[in-house]
Amino acid sequence: MIIVTGGAGFIGSAMIWKLNQMGRKDVIVVDDLGESEKWRNLVSLRYEEYLNKQVFLELVVTDQLPWDIEGVIHMGACSSTVEKDCDYLMENNYHFSRILCEWALEKEHRFINASSAATYGNGKNGFSDDPDRIEGLKPLNMYAYSKQLFDLWARSEGCLDSIVSLKFFNVFGPNEYHKGQMRSMVCKAFHQIKNKSKVSLFKSYRPDYADGEQERDFIYVKDCVEVLWWLYENRQANGLFNLGSGESRTWNDLAGAVFRAMGKETVIEYVEMPEEIRGSYQYSTRAETARLAETGCPMDFMSLEEAVDDYVRGYLTAEDPYL
């Protein structure tokens, strides 16, 4: 059995889709559905069982899971960068991950963890995934700090020799619809264009960046799960790695790709950025991917234009937009 935590979420459900493609249906989905719409991500997927995360945690700590477990793909976390409940983030993102990692290592299960590029803060210290440099990173929000704490713990305990922790950059793609304001700009732009025939992007407040020329490392969720599957199968490849395209593209590029995929003329308006985020806004991100490439992991990713076209034409405009 393969455990996928956050299995009803964005990347987690995409990972189950990939497992199903590889003929694997022996999956335990762990999540906290509550009253959210995440359940829709599970409808077309095939898995053995669903467990609420608290029930799952109790079974783990009491060593009562009734299945033969092969590995854990730990995508479960609160991913909101504006979450204010710090104790919740500590318990959900840090302590839960530690407990699960320690259990997996004790049982000799494969363990893959979702970290975040948000740990890089404003990026002034670069985007190197060298574990010896992570102490110098300064996260700008509590979500990022909770992810940073796990990576620091894993390094100090020597766990990075036996597990994978992935710093995801700007992931977009099908099954993100439940994320509200945390949805990707591709998804938001599609609906803005559909409803208003234009896209709103933040103005720049730095003279070295024109409006809309702020940059991000965008990566398609289908490319992410290809990497996850390869790392899951190749247990010799362990460590802390960035998971991004390795390229920076502008918000203008992204918006233009969405307009083209929809067959529409590009119309962009530039709006004021909220004052509360101006001081912590990232103007450029780009994953350093050499360490991941050195493992032998295939990294033939779609271009931004190819990925946006696949997402828009294959899902956002489809009757059934789910994987």
- For residue 29, the SS3 value is strand
Phi, psi of 226 (to 5 degrees): -65, -45
Nearest alpha-carbon partner for 161 in 229, 111, 98: 111
| Phi, psi dihedral angles at 217 (to 5 degrees) | -95, 100
Q: Which of 107, 179, 198, 264 is catalytic?
A: 179
CA contacts within 13 A on the Cβ side of 221: 25
For this structure, is 205 an active site residue?
no
* Annotated catalytic residue, options 94, 120, 143, 232: 143
Mapped onto helix, strand or coil, the DSSP state of residue 297 is coil
Q: Going by C-beta distance under 8 Å and a sequence separation of 6 or more, which residues neighbour residue 118?
A: 81, 139, 140, 141, 143, 144, 147
- Residue 81 is given by DSSP the state T
d(CA 136, CA 139): 10
Does residue 295 contact residue 237 with C-beta atoms inside 8 Å?
Answer: yes
Nearest to 155 by CA among 119, 118, 108: 119
Q: Which two tokens stand for residue 174?
A: 């099908």
Active-site residue flag, 179: yes
Spatial distance between the Cα atoms of 72 and 110, rounded to a whole number of angstroms: 6
> Chain centroid to CA 62: how far?
30
Query: Between helices 96-107 and 53-61, what is the axis angle to 10°?
Result: 50
Task: Answer left, alpha or beta for residue 188, where phi above 0 means left and psi between -120 and 50 means alpha.
Answer: alpha
3-state secondary structure of 15: helix
Annotated catalytic residues are 143, 179
